[in-house]
Amino acid sequence: MESGSRKYLLNIRGTLRELQLPCVMGILNITPDSFYEASRVDEIEDVLSKCGQMLREGAAIIDIGAASTRPGAIYPGAKIELQRLQKVFPKLRKQFPDAIFSIDTWNAEVAERMIDMGADIINDISSGELDPHMLNVIVRSKVPYIIMHMRGQPENMQQFTDYINIVSEINTYFVEKIRELRLAGISDIIIDPGFGFSKTIEQNYELLGRLNEFLLHGVPVLVGLSRKSMISKSLGCSTEETLCGTTAANTIALMNGASLLRVHDAKAAVDAIAIFKNIQYPL
């Protein structure tokens, strides 16, 4: 199979927008406690600058998070999450009117408010499990929906890593979840196996090696490997030293069928995709 661009249409604010897959989703953290300290931005000018940089480097989507989901993180509440987002998002939307913005939230109230303000995609780590009202928000708004596999919630998820066959169990989860979403009328769906979310380091690498088994669902597969502890602990280095390891992991993900790379460092991921597209690789 030729590993060139694959076209994918997304309903973005009522207009079909074409993405060339694989592509990059750039991470824009506006939290004080995200696991990668260098990715945190708060001041408006810094947020605008970081966003502009990632777009210039080739990011197709910008994913904005205002509540950390690192292991052990405590949810700050919808009020604080919204305050952080409302402080920066209107300015981002105004300065980058053609950009595609995703909001990284599991809270339905936050999702609805941000969609009303011009957000394009909702990226929900819980697939609606943590807030049962999320499904109704997605149905009403018709925005693309990214669903991720996780057990528990960030503050306790690492207690739930007892799988018998991790890939089979996650695939069963996605079969059931996608059926539920399709029946509700949601058509734009992207899946994320949830690297680092209720998984051990060994399980993360098993998922990476078997990523092509998630292609059976017929929807794009997003991977979030960027600078995670599965890389730093394997290399025995700090989070700040994991760019090369992240690029290696992302390249393996591309070779196994990943459609979107969610990353802190857009240029490195864009370059990895460019090199990947130069080869013929059977998925």
Amino acid at 73: A
Tokens of 198: 């209720």
Q: Determine how β-strand 121-124 pairs with β-strand 100-104.
A: parallel
As a whole number of angstroms, the longest Cα–Cα distance in the chain is: 49
Catalytic, 228? Answer yes
67 within 8 A of 75, measured Cβ to Cβ: yes
151 within 8 A of 198, measured Cβ to Cβ: yes
The two counts, helices (H) then strands (E), for the chain are 9, 10
Q: Which of 87, 91, 262, 267 is catalytic?
A: 262
Name the nearest CA neighbour of 26 among 241, 222, 159, 216. 222
Catalytic, 262? Answer yes
Q: How far apart are CA 193 and CA 269, in angstroms?
A: 19
224 within 8 A of 177, measured Cβ to Cβ: no
Q: Which of 228, 233, 267, 277 is catalytic?
A: 228
The CA distances from residue 232 to 32, 149, 228, 261, in Å, are: 21, 22, 7, 18
Q: How far apart are CA 168 and CA 175, in angstroms?
A: 10
Cis peptide before 32 (omega within 30 of 0): no
How would you classify residue 34: left for phi > 0, otherwise alpha for psi between -120 and 50, otherwise beta? beta
89 within 8 A of 64, measured Cβ to Cβ: yes
Q: Which residues are catalytic?
A: 228, 262
